[in-house]
Structure 1
């Protein structure tokens, strides 16, 4: 009984102590609250952050510039004759009607402003330290209706761009056997015997690759630029071009158009029809431009004329 009474007294003392602590805490809270109510509320200051347009760009585009310009033909348009021949120099086709074929390297000159469509401009360096190398749009080299064209980025053209190490699809869309022949900085042949069945080829050496046929269609010709960087452009219908995301600094550029002058012909020994045709070296020009960060350099105007062609003879 003594133990129970002592325990009861101890519990009562602990409860009284807890109640006293709660009362003290409540009084302190009321005191602090009354002080806060007597003070005037002050408006909070808000710091506004302005986001510049350049900060919205992807990281790889920051502090980079672009180059814009146009390529024109100066003087009277060249008179370029085409060719006549059967669809193939082989004996089974040689006796069939001869057709007219356009010169594949004739420049496409705009009738309004004399801009040169499909002229090529690229950064003239063999290697770059730029780690942000971006592949060009996928390429399809198409043979159809006895013509060859390069389909890339929604455009059909006789020229296209490939980043070193990337591949190209070759596809025949005609019920006719073709063999694609690559020369220049690549050396291979691809038979296209199955209609609409692409054949993929990877390019492992930089440079210019000229595509023709190994089946006698000498007027069918295209060009692939295999580059170690993505700083290249092809002129549109009015001869204008733009190369974006260039690193700041002074850079050298090269402009390229093919030469339409025939330098060599191969003749079939039985039919005496042309089986292969070679052309004079392409016409090129160089220029330098200073690229500023987040700025477009737009004063580049390049002229080609007959004198440039005659200089290649």
Structure 2
């Protein structure tokens, strides 16, 4: 009996953590931070009409930021090579979790990229008092969470420092699914005309049509230049960003603590080589039980 209990302890512990994650999610995630509140006050003060680019970490946020930055630059000048991660943060610098540069923000800008504010945060009801349009990028949870484990745990040499469940990719994916699901559901409370939800898989399979839809939503008064759109897609492609990172010694992306490459695989279905069948079935069953998530038409390959 003692051996049976010891064998099942990790599974029981994981269930308890998932339960706690579920009941404490709102308390941890849905209140404005002081930085967010101050940034949103600036938006109101200067009556800016922003689009909030949002997405769970490792869903393609950075890819979309690269595209929007490149397309914006191409309106004024030619771009020969992919901008660096550092340049991206300078160009698309309105990040909700970081203090806005008040002096810079006060100057009116006609640059397309300055209409974009970015966040990894779930939707908070107070956002709607300041921002009316939301561009949500999402990716199937299996690839998202497997990629998250590689980036936040494996590539930061955290395996030796932390214990179960985070050092086990399968347990990590099951535990973090609660966050992913709640994140996606949080944005479902917005009216349909307020949010454009675009999947990572759709962007990979039909880039021109998908990115054109994004531009139409984000900049309704802008006439899309198809040649510049295609150039921005080329400059922002997975291979272009990965090559830039290696040439510029910025493989770590925006996180110096990361020992691996930020741009890891960039494909659909890589989870199949990383997760067990039990984990894959567990997540797919969870997805099927949530009508809001199933309405997103999640693609696993």
Higher radius of gyration, 1 or 2: 1
TM-score (norm 1): 0.22
Pick the structure with more helix per residue: 2
